[in-house]
C-alpha cells in the first residue's frame, strides 16, 4: 500500500473550488459519535447517522443554528473575526500542512481550509458579501457545506504548523476549532473525540478506567519497579496535604510505550523524595474538549484544579502529554484561572522558582527534570541508553503551543550518548505533526493518518539512513500511541519512547540493584553498579 500512498500529486484547485462535494470513504474519515455519548455530555441532536449517509438528520432549523453560532463566536472571539478578515491569499501556508503534503488535496491547504469557513462569513456577515454574494467570495450555506466542513475540519490536526509561516499569524487551527464547535451545535461530531470526553466525565480519564483500575495499574507499576531496581516503591493516591499533585495522561498507566515513561516518572520522584500525590479523579491530563468545543475544554480542565483544591496541594506537575499543555498554556488562565489558591511552583530540591508558571501554578515535568539535572541533583549514566540511537520529535502542542524546545533536548543529551536531530525545517517550531492528533488517532481513518504522517516519517527515515537512528523520543501520549503505527508503515525498525523513559534508564538510584533497562533489556555490563556501591546522587532539599 505504501507505493500507492506515495503517488501524491500536489495540484492547484481544478474547476470551481466552491463546489462542496466530498466523498466519504473508509480510511479517510472517522465515524460519527454514538448518541449515548452526546446524551452523556448534554450535546444537541443525538441520533444514529454516519458521514456517508445521504441524510444526516440535521435539525430543521440547522441553517439558523449555524449562522447564530457564527455570530455569537464572531462577537466573542476577536481572533476568529480577525482570521476571517485578514488573509491576503499570499499562499505562504499552502504547502506547510502535512495533510496537503501527504494527500495532494488542495482543500487541505490551510488557506483553502480556512476559506471553507471564510466564504460563509463573507456571504452572511459582510456588506459586500450580502450584496454581491459569490462575486465577493461568498458561498450559500448548504447541507453540502456542512458535509465539506466535517470532512476537512476532521482532516486538520489543529497542529498550528501553518500559523508559523503566515505573515499575519493566522492560526488555522483556531478556525478548525470553531468549525468543529459549530458542527457540534448540529450534533455532528466523531466518536473518537466524544467517547474519551464522556469517559473523562464518568471516570476521570479518557480510557474509562475506574478508580480501582487506576490503583491496580499504579500498584502494578510500583511492583515492577521494585523488581527492576530492588528498591521498595509505592505510588501515593489521593493523599491530602501532599506538596505536589502529579497529573499524567491516562495512556501512561495503560499502554506501551507510554508505560515506560510512567516508570521513569516514578523512579525520579522516589529518588528525590518528592512529596507528591496522584488523583484517582483527575486521572487524566489530556483534554479531548480541545478537539470539540471551548466549553467542553473548560469543563475538563476545571477538574485538575478542583482536585488540587480538594487535596490541598501547593502546586501541580504535569506529565508528558500534548493537548494538556496546549490547554494549560493558552486557555486555562482565561477559562478557569488564575489559580490563586495555589502557590507559584518552587522546586523543593533546587529552590528554583518557576515564575513563568505563576498563573497556572502547573509545571511541565521536563522543566522540573531539566532543572534537577542542571543543578547536579541526579546521578545519570547515559551509557545505559547505548542501545538507542535517538532522535527527538517535537510534539506540536508542547513545542508550538508552549515553546518547550530546549528542556527535552537537554534531558536527552544528558541521558543518551547518541542523539541526532532531524532536518531543521522539520523540528522545533517547524515540527511536523504525527498526523493523528486532535482526536484523529483512530484506525478508522488510517489511510489519511499515514498520508498526514508522511512528512514526519520521512524526516525520521533521513536520520535512520544517515545515523542509524532506531528510537524516536517524544513527549505526547497521542504521539506514543500513533507514531509506532506510522513508523512501522513508513520506517520500520524505529521504536518510540518518552523522554522520561530515557531518564529512568539512565538514572542511578541510591541502593539500586539493577541489571536491566525499563523494557527488561540487559544494561551494558559497565553500567551495572557493583555490590556495595551505594549509587545515586546526594540530594539536598532546598
Ligand atoms: S493546523 Fe496543522 S493540520 Fe491544520 S491546516 Fe494548519 S498545518 Fe494543517
Ligand atoms: S499565509 Fe496567512 S495570509 Fe497567507 S494565505 Fe496563508 S493564512 Fe492567508
Span 294-346, pLDDT tens digits: 999 999 999 999 999 999 999 999 999 988 888 888 888 888 888 999 999 99
Within a domain: 521: yes
Within-domain flag for 15: no
Q: Are 468 and 216 in contact (CB under 8 A)?
A: no
Nearest to 468 by CA among 521, 419, 529: 419
Atom of ligand 2 nearest to the CA of 165: 1
Distance 165 CA to ligand 2 centre (A): 8
Q: Closest Cα to atom 4, ligand 1: which residue?
A: 156
Given 327, 357, 374, which residue is the final one in a domain? 374
Are 351 and 222 contained in the same domain? yes
Per-residue model confidence (pLDDT) at position 330: 86
8 found inside a domain: no
Identify the pLDDT of residue 5: 79
Least confident of 235-244, 273-282, 518-527: 518-527
Q: Which triple of cell numbers denotes residue 127?
A: 456588506
Strand order in the sheet with 495-498: 390-392, 471-474, 495-498
pLDDT for 153 equals 98
CATH number at residue 460: 3.40.50
- Cβ atoms of 393 and 473 within 8 Å: the answer is yes
Using one digit for the tens of pLDDT, what is the confidence trace for 457-495? 999 999 999 999 999 999 999 999 999 999 999 999 999
Tell me how crowded residue 288 is: count the other CB atoms within 10 A of its CB: 23
Three cell numbers at 506?
539512565
Question: What digits encode the pLDDT tens for the residues 428-455?
Answer: 999 999 999 999 999 999 999 999 999 9
Cα-to-chain-centroid distance, residue 159? 9
Give me the sheet containing 362-364, strands edge to edge.
276-278, 244-247, 315-318, 362-364
Give burial (CB, 10 Å; 0-12/13-18/19+) of 25.
Answer: exposed
For atom 1 of ligand 2, the residue with the nearest CA is 166
List, for residues 38-52, the tens digit of each pLDDT value.
999 999 999 999 999
Question: Could you tell which of 107, 111, 112, 113 is best to mutate to test the pocket of ligand 2, judged by most ligand atoms within 8 Å of the CB?
Answer: 111
Candidate from 108, 152, 157 with most ligand 1 atoms within 8 A of CB, to mutate: 157
With contact defined as beta carbons under 8 Å apart, do 355 and 367 qualify? no
- CA-closest residue to ligand 2 atom 6: 93
User: What are residue 362's DSSP bridge partners?
Assistant: 316
- 58, three cell numbers: 440535521
**147 has pLDDT over 90:** yes
Residue 541 pLDDT > 60? no
What is the pLDDT at residue 1? 58
Considering only CA atoms, which of 403, 426, 439 is closest in space to residue 157? 439
The CATH number linked to 258 is 1.20.1050
Q: What is the Å distance from ligand 1's center to 522 Cα? A: 42
Number of domains in the chain: 3
Same domain, 68 and 150: yes
158 CA to middle of ligand 1, Å?
5
174 lies in the same domain as 263: no
Contact 448, 99 (CB under 8 A): yes
Which atom of ligand 1 is least distant from the CA of 176? 4
The per-residue pLDDT for 149 is 98
Please name the residue whose Cα sits nearest to atom 2 of ligand 2: 166
Q: Which of 485, 480, 400, 425 is CA-nearest to residue 449?
A: 485
* Cα–Cα dist 13/9, whole Å: 12
CA of 163 to the centre of ligand 1 (A): 8
Cα 175 to middle of ligand 2, angstroms? 13
Q: What is the mean pLDDT of residues 349-358?
A: 96
118 alpha carbon – ligand 1 mean position (Å)? 16
Cell of 474: 517524544
| Domain membership flag for residue 393 | yes
pLDDT tops 90 at residue 7: no
What integer pLDDT is reported at residue 534 of this predicted model?
A: 67
Residues with a CB atom less than 6 Å from ligand 2: 87-93, 110-111, 165-166, 168, 170
pLDDT at position 77, please?
94
Q: Which helix (H) or strand (E) holds 475?
A: none
- Find the angle CA(381)-CA(385)-CA(387) to the nearest 5 degrees: 145
What does 112-135 look like in DSSP terms, one character per residue? HHHHHHHHHHHHHHSHHHHHHGGG
| Residue 11: inside a domain | no
Report the alpha-carbon distance of residue 190 to residue 356 in Å, rounded: 36
Tracing cell 459519535 back to the chain, one arrives at 33
Ligand 1 atom 2: residue of nearest CA: 159
Residues 6+ positions from 109 with CB-CB distance below 8 Å: 93, 94, 95, 97, 100
Closest CA to 302 of 392, 394, 376, 204: 204
User: Looking at the domain assignment, is residue 242 inside a domain?
Assistant: yes
Indicate whether 324 and 342 sit together in one domain. Answer: yes
Residues 167 and 209 grouped into a single domain: no
Q: Are residues 515 and 389 in the same domain?
A: yes
Whether 366 and 230 map to the same domain: the answer is: yes
Helix spans in 157-273 (H): 161-165, 172-185, 191-203, 211-229, 258-272
- Residue having the nearest C-alpha atom to atom 3 of ligand 1: 156
pLDDT over threshold 60, residue 279:
yes
Residue ranges making up the domain that contains 91 = 44-188
Query: How do strand 244-247 and strand 315-318 relate by DSSP bridges?
Result: parallel
pLDDT at residue 70, rounded to an integer: 98
Domain end, chosen from 374, 392, 408, is at 374
Angstrom distance (rounded) from CA 319 to CA 291: 20
Range among 3-12, 331-340, 385-394 rated most confident: 385-394
Ligand 2 atom with minimal separation from the 169 CA: 2
Is 449 a domain residue? Answer: yes
Q: Burial code of 168-185, b = ≥16 C-beta within 10 A, e = fewer?
A: eebbbbbbbbbbbbbbbb
Residues facing 496 on adjacent strands: 472
Residues with CB under 6 A from ligand 1: 96-97, 99, 110, 113, 156-162, 172-173, 176, 433
Residues 356 and 273 placed together within one structural domain of the fold: yes
Residue (of 164, 92, 162) closest to 405 by Cα position: 164
347 and 418 belong to one structural domain: no
Task: Find the 181 Cα to ligand 2 centroid distance in Å.
Answer: 22
What is the 3 state secondary structure string of 396-455?
A: HHHHHHCCCCHHHHHHHHHHCCCECCCCHHHCHHHCCCCCCCCCCCCHHHHHHHHHHCHH
CATH number of the structural domain spanning residue 136: 1.10.1060
CA distance 396 to 157: 10
Cβ pair 308, 285 in contact under 8 A:
no
Which residues make beta-bridge pairs with 473? 392, 497
For ligand 1, atom 8: residue with the closest CA:
97
Up-side HSE of residue 109: CA atoms within 13 Å toward CB?
Answer: 18
Same domain, yes or no, for 212 and 116?
A: no
Residue-level pLDDT at 177 = 96
Residues 174-230: pLDDT tens digits? 999 999 999 999 999 999 999 999 999 999 999 999 999 999 999 999 999 999 999
Q: C-alpha 403: how far from its chain's center?
A: 14
Q: Are residues 519 and 404 in the same domain?
A: yes
Q: What is the pTM of this model?
A: 0.95
The pLDDT of residue 538: 61
Closest ligand to C-alpha of residue 451 is: 1
356 and 334 together in one domain: yes
The C-alpha atoms of residue 286 and residue 326 are separated, in whole angstroms, by: 10
The answer to whether 325 touches 402, Cβ cutoff 8 Å, is: yes
Gap from CA of 509 to ligand 1 centroid (Å) = 43
Taking the C-alpha atoms of residue 107 and residue 19, their distance in angstroms, rounded to an integer, is 11
Q: State mean pLDDT over 84-103.
A: 95
Reported as a pLDDT band with limits 50, 70 and 90, residue 542 is very low
pLDDT band at 528 (very low <50, low <70, confident <90, very high): confident
Q: Which long-range contacts (CB under 8 A, 24 or more apart) does 63-70 make?
A: 63/141, 65/185, 65/186, 66/120, 66/141, 66/146, 66/182, 66/185, 66/186, 67/124, 67/141, 69/181, 69/182, 69/185, 70/120, 70/121, 70/124, 70/125, 70/182
Closest-approaching ligand to the CA atom of 173: 1
Lowest mean pLDDT among 115-129, 392-406, 507-521, 527-541: 527-541
Sequence-distant (6+) residues with CB within 8 A of 521 are 387
End residue of a domain, out of 374, 409, 437: 374
pLDDT-wise least confident of 149-163, 350-364, 368-382, 523-537: 523-537
Q: Tell me what the pLDDT averaged over the chain comes to.
A: 94
Domain assignment present for residue 394? The answer is yes
Section 53-75 average pLDDT: 98
Amino acid at each position: 500500500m505504501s507505493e500507492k500512498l506515495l503517488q501524491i500529486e500536489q495540484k492547484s484547485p481544478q474547476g470551481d473550488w466552491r463546489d462542496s462535494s466530498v466523498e466519504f470513504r473508509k480510511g479517510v474519515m472517522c465515524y460519527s459519535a454514538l448518541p449515548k455519548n452526546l446524551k452523556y455530555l448534554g450535546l444537541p441532536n443525538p441520533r444514529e447517522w454516519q458521514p456517508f449517509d445521504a441524510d444526516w438528520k440535521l435539525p430543521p432549523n440547522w441553517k439558523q443554528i449555524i449562522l447564530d453560532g457564527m455570530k455569537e463566536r464572531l462577537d466573542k472571539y476577536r481572533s476568529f473575526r480577525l482570521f476571517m478578515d485578514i488573509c491576503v491569499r499570499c499562499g505562504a501556508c499552502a504547502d506547510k500542512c502535512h495533510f496537503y503534503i501527504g494527500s495532494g488535496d488542495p482543500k487541505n491547504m490551510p488557506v483553502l481550509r480556512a476559506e471553507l469557513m471564510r466564504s460563509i462569513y463573507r456571504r452572511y456577515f459582510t456588506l459586500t458579501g450580502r450584496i454581491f454574494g459569490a462575486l465577493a467570495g461568498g458561498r450559500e450555506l448548504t447541507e453540502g457545506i456542512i458535509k465539506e466542513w466535517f470532512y476537512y475540519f476532521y482532516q486538520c490536526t489543529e497542529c498550528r504548523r501553518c500559523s508559523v509561516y503566515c505573515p499575519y499569524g493566522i492560526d488555522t487551527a483556531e478556525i478548525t476549532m470553531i468549525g468543529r464547535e459549530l458542527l457540534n451545535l448540529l450534533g455532528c461530531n466523531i466518536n473518537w473525540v466524544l467517547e474519551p470526553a464522556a469517559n473523562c466525565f464518568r471516570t476521570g480519564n479518557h480510557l474509562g478506567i475506574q478508580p480501582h483500575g487506576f490503583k491496580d495499574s499504579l500498584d502494578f507499576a510500583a511492583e515492577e519497579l521494585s523488581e527492576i531496581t530492588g528498591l521498595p516503591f509505592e505510588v501515593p493516591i489521593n493523599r491530602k496535604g501532599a506538596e505536589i499533585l502529579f497529573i499524567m495522561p491516562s495512556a501512561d498507566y495503560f499502554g506501551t510505550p507510554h508505560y515506560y515513561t510512567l516508570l521513569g516518572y516514578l523512579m525520579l520522584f522516589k529518588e528525590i523524595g518528592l512529596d507528591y500525590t496522584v488523583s484517582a479523579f483527575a486521572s487524566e491530563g489530556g483534554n479531548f474538549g480541545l478537539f470539540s468545543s471551548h466549553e467542553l475544554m473548560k469543563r475538563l480542565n476545571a477538574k485538575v484544579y478542583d482536585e488540587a483544591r480538594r487535596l490541598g496541594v501547593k502546586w501541580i506537575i504535569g506529565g508528558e502529554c500534548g493537548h494538556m499543555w496546549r490547554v494549560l498554556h493558552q486557555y486555562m488562565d482565561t477559562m478557569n484561572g488564575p489559580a490563586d489558591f495555589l502557590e507559584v511552583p518552587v522546586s523543593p530540591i533546587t529552590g528554583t522558582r518557576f515564575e513563568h508558571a505563576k498563573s497556572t501554578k502547573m509545571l511541565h515535568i521536563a522543566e522540573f527534570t531539566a532543572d534537577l539535572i542542571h543543578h547536579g541533583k541526579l546521578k545519570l549514566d547515559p551509557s545505559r541508553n547505548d542501545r538507542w540511537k535517538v532522535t527527538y520529535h517535537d510534539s506540536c502542542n508542547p513545542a508550538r503551543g508552549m515553546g518547550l524546545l530546549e528542556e527535552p533536548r537537554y534531558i536527552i543529551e544528558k541521558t543518551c550518548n547518541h542523539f541526532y536531530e532531524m532536518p531543521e525545517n522539520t523540528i522545533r517550531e517547524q515540527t511536523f505533526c504525527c498526523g493523528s492528533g486532535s482526536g484523529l488517532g483512530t484506525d478508522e481513518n488510517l489511510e489519511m493518518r499515514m498520508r498526514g504522517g508522511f512528512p514526519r516519517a520521512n524526516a525520521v527515515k533521513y536520520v535512520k539512513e544517515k545515523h542509524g537512528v532506531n528510537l524516536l523520543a517524544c513527549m505526547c501520549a497521542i504521539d506514543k500511541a500513533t507514531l509506532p503505527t506510522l513508523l512501522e508503515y513508513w520506517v520500520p525498525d524505529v521504536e518510540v519512547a518518552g523522554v522520561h523513559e530515557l531518564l529512568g534508564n539512565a538514572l542511578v538510584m541510591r541502593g539500586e540493584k539493577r541489571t536491566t533497562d525499563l523494557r527488561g533489556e540487559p544494561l551494558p555490563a559497565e553500567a551495572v553498579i557493583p555490590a556495595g556501591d551505594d549509587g545515586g546522587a546526594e540530594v539536598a532539599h532546598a
